[in-house]
Amino acid sequence: MMVISDQSPIYAAVNLSKSELKTMLSACYQCSSCTSVCPLRRVSKFNPRKIIHKFKMDTPVSEEDLTSCLTCSLCLEVCPQEVDFPEFIRLSRKNVGISDDNFAHHNIFNLIQIFMGEMTESGMKFDFQGKTDPTSNIAYFPGCIDLFDRFLDLKETDFHQIGQSAINIMNKVGISPNLISLKCCGHDAYWTGDEGAYDQVREYNTQFIKSSGISTLVVSCAECYYTFEKLYDLDVRVQHISQFIDENKEKLGFKGETYDLAYHDACRLGRFMKEYDTPRNVLKATGANIKEFTLNKQFTKCCGVSAWLKCDDNSRAIMLRKLEETAQAVGNEGTLAVGCTKCFAHLNCVLEDRKPQHNFQIKVKEIGMIVDETSSSKS
Amino acid sequence: MTETNSKIQTELLEEPYEPTIIVFACNWCSYAGADLAGVSRLKYPTNIRIVRVMCSGRVDPAFIMKAFLKGADGVLVAGCHPGDCHYLEGNLSTEVRVKNTQEAFDILGWETDRLRLEWISASEGKRFAQIITEFTEQIKELGPIKKR
């Protein structure tokens, strides 16, 4: 019996055949816990238990099922047998391949990842205000936020501000970060099964980080954090921005005015990296009174889309549910804090639709932005 | 003697660099412009491959990215002059999109000159030929895309 453990198969080059995939699923005894918690199941006919059952009975997984799964890993959290369904989906995607039509935004973001791997010789270039120092051994990597500004047609959402806030915070603490020019982390390519593109960016990034001589890499996005920390083989310390703030929160001089706030645990930060308390501690330090969702921490429902795959009616319904939960917790004009750039993008996207879809006045903010706004220190 | 022979041979074998250029031409103005250039028997380089779209506003940044990934050396997006769009303001959104794509190329550290936006109306066959000639020269100067 093979139950997937912490020893994730990514460390070894795997090319699992069908029988091996079956062995991976053999522990499943069809209790249907996964289906009962699946966020997608709340709005569609998606059924993880049935997919496993069918696969064991030699029916291939349909492309619809393969692309619908959010890989949010909530099923793994409740599975009594620890059958790694997201990993199964990932490996199936790798074996079967996903056609371009299944991606949102005409697949632009995954094309950019491939573009970065194949065509460009250097990493992304960033342009932020504030003090940066190329020789510093603490590096900051903003991720693909500048590209979101270019290609996501969101008029009221400023992604650039995420990076700017992080740099402001680091300056306030007294650090001039090395604004490291990496390529995309490759998270989406990895989870959509395009390991060729993932390997290309990983090789470049690993080499660049090693040659740059940094000791700490701070990132804003939960996906970057998960990828650099868990998938890459780096010998530097990788920190999510909330962990960085948690270590330095005395220096930030919070005003301490209390306000209500809801917090959404991003799957890559929460369930994948087990980071539940640090972001909460940071938010509490800013004076936030966190109103918890009924389903929180490891049982948080996903924000609705992962890896730019298939943003359809179901995704929208999940996002609207998330906003509904937020409205119940903090009121219709409250604030929702997230620790992941992607959650920030997806939830803001559905918020900008407004009427007739919904009437929420909620603000979705990234942790770094909230901290920067509430901190009174001068850089 | 053998040296000159081999030299001549390599020179004969070495084909000059001919770039591939994808032109997204809008149905109402630029495609008709290209048509006029053909009907008027104007000469322009044969490096272009025209993709007819109903409006230049249909051209998504993803199409441009994909063209480059599939081996194009340059991409030209051609639409109606501002104010002439058959769908009123499709070409204005093209302008924004192409500008955004060029900015994205800047962020990625790639040559923005390989992507160009031009307004060509149905009566501007001469201008079409001229732009194609000019753009082909420009791409030839930039040389082939270096893949990693």
Structural domain includes residue B4: no
- In A, minimum Cα distance to B68 occurs at A115
Q: How far is B108 from chain A (nearest CA, A)?
A: 5
Domain harbouring B122, CATH code: 3.40.50.960
Q: Which residues of chain A neighbour B106 with C-beta distances below 8 Å?
A: 125
Q: What is the pLDDT of residue A12?
A: 35
Residues of the domain holding B33 = 17-136
A-B C-beta contacts closer than 8 Å: 65
In this complex, do A123 and B109 lie within 8 Å of one another by their Cβ atoms? yes
Q: Which residues of chain A neighbour B108 with C-beta distances below 8 Å?
A: 112, 115-116, 120, 124-125
Q: How far is B61 from chain A (nearest CA, A)?
A: 7
Q: What is the pLDDT of residue A13?
A: 36
Q: Which residues of chain B neighbour A125 with C-beta distances below 8 Å?
A: 106-109
Q: Which residues of chain B neighbour A106 with C-beta distances below 8 Å?
A: 60-63
Q: What is the pLDDT of residue A370?
A: 92
Nearest in space to A312 (alpha carbons), one of A63, A89, A102, A72: A102
Candidates A99, A102, A120: best to mutate against B (most CBs of B within 10 A) is A120
Q: What is the pLDDT of residue A97?
A: 86
Structural domain includes residue B11: no
- In B, minimum Cα distance to A150 occurs at B100
- pLDDT tens digit string along B41-70? 999 999 999 999 999 999 999 999 999 999
In this complex, do B109 and A200 lie within 8 Å of one another by their Cβ atoms? no
Rounded to whole angstroms, how far apart are CA atoms A224 and A190?
A: 12
Q: Which residues of chain B neighbour A102 with C-beta distances below 8 Å?
A: none
Instruction: Estimate to the nearest angstrom the gap between the alpha carbon of A298 and the chain centroid.
Output: 14
- In A, minimum Cα distance to B66 occurs at A111
DSSP tag of A249 = G
Q: What is the pLDDT of residue A101?
A: 87
- pLDDT tens digit string along A4-41? 444 444 333 344 567 778 888 888 999 999 999 999 99
Q: How far is A354 from chain B (nearest CA, A)?
A: 22
ipTM value for the complex: 0.85
C-beta of residue A200 within 8 angstroms of C-beta of residue A118: yes
Structural domain includes residue B10: no
Give the right CATH number for A9-97 from 1.10.1060.10, 3.90.1300.10, 1.10.10.60, 3.40.630.30. Answer: 1.10.1060.10
Q: Which residues of chain A neighbour B102 with C-beta distances below 8 Å?
A: none
Structural domain includes residue B130: yes
Q: Which residues of chain B neighbour A115 with C-beta distances below 8 Å?
A: 65, 68-69, 108, 110
DSSP tag of A340 = -
Dihedral (CA of B8, B12, B13, B17) sign = positive
Dihedral (CA of A85, A91, A97, A101) sign = positive
Q: What is the pLDDT of residue A354?
A: 66
Rounded to whole angstroms, how far apart are CA atoms B29 and B50?
A: 13
Nearest in space to A147 (alpha carbons), one of A176, A177, A188, A118: A188
Instruction: Estimate to the nearest angstrom the gap between the alpha carbon of A28 and the chain centroid.
Output: 27
Structural domain includes residue B59: yes
Angle, helices A48-56 vs A18-25, to 10°: value is 130
Q: Which residues of chain A neighbour B107 with C-beta distances below 8 Å?
A: 124-126, 146-147, 150
Structural domain includes residue B6: no
- In B, minimum Cα distance to A124 occurs at B108
Q: How far is A208 from chain B (nearest CA, A)?
A: 15
The HSE-up count of residue B40 (CA atoms within 13 Å, CB side) is 17
Q: How far is A200 from chain B (nearest CA, A)?
A: 9
- In A, minimum Cα distance to B100 occurs at A150
Q: What is the pLDDT of residue A43?
A: 92
Question: Nearest Cβ partner of B69 from A106, A114, A147?
Answer: A114
How many structural domains is chain B composed of?
1
Structural domain includes residue B141: no
The answer to whether residue B104 neighbours chain A at the CB level (below 8 Å) is yes
pLDDT in tens, chain A (379 residues): 344 444 444 333 344 567 778 888 888 999 999 999 999 999 999 999 999 998 888 888 888 888 999 999 999 989 998 899 999 999 989 888 888 888 989 999 999 999 998 888 888 999 999 999 999 999 999 999 999 999 988 888 999 999 999 999 999 999 999 999 999 999 999 999 998 999 999 999 999 999 999 999 999 999 999 999 999 999 999 999 999 999 998 888 888 789 999 999 999 999 999 999 999 999 999 999 999 998 888 899 999 898 999 888 899 999 999 999 999 999 888 999 999 999 999 999 999 886 677 888 899 999 999 999 998 877 6
Q: What is the pLDDT of residue A120?
A: 87
Q: Which residues of chain A neighbour B66 with C-beta distances below 8 Å?
A: 111
Q: How far is A258 from chain B (nearest CA, A)?
A: 39
- In B, minimum Cα distance to A122 occurs at B109
CATH top class, domain A255-374: alpha beta
Is the confidence at residue B24, as pLDDT, over 90? Answer: yes
In this complex, do B108 and A115 lie within 8 Å of one another by their Cβ atoms? yes
Among B residues 111-140, those touching chain A with beta carbons less than 8 Å apart:
none
Q: Give the type of residue at A78.
A: V
Candidates B65, B98, B105: best to mutate against A (most CBs of A within 10 A) is B65
In this complex, do B148 and A118 lie within 8 Å of one another by their Cβ atoms? yes
Strands A216-219 and A178-179: unpaired
Rounded to whole angstroms, how far apart are CA atoms B131 and B145?
A: 21
Structural domain includes residue B8: no
Is the confidence at residue B140, as pLDDT, over 90? Answer: yes
More confident call, B36 vs A24: B36
Question: Nearest Cβ partner of B100 from A115, A116, A151?
Answer: A151
Q: Which residues of chain B neighbour A122 with C-beta distances below 8 Å?
A: 109
In this complex, do B110 and A119 lie within 8 Å of one another by their Cβ atoms? yes
Give B104's pLDDT tier (boundaries 50, 70, 90).
Answer: very high
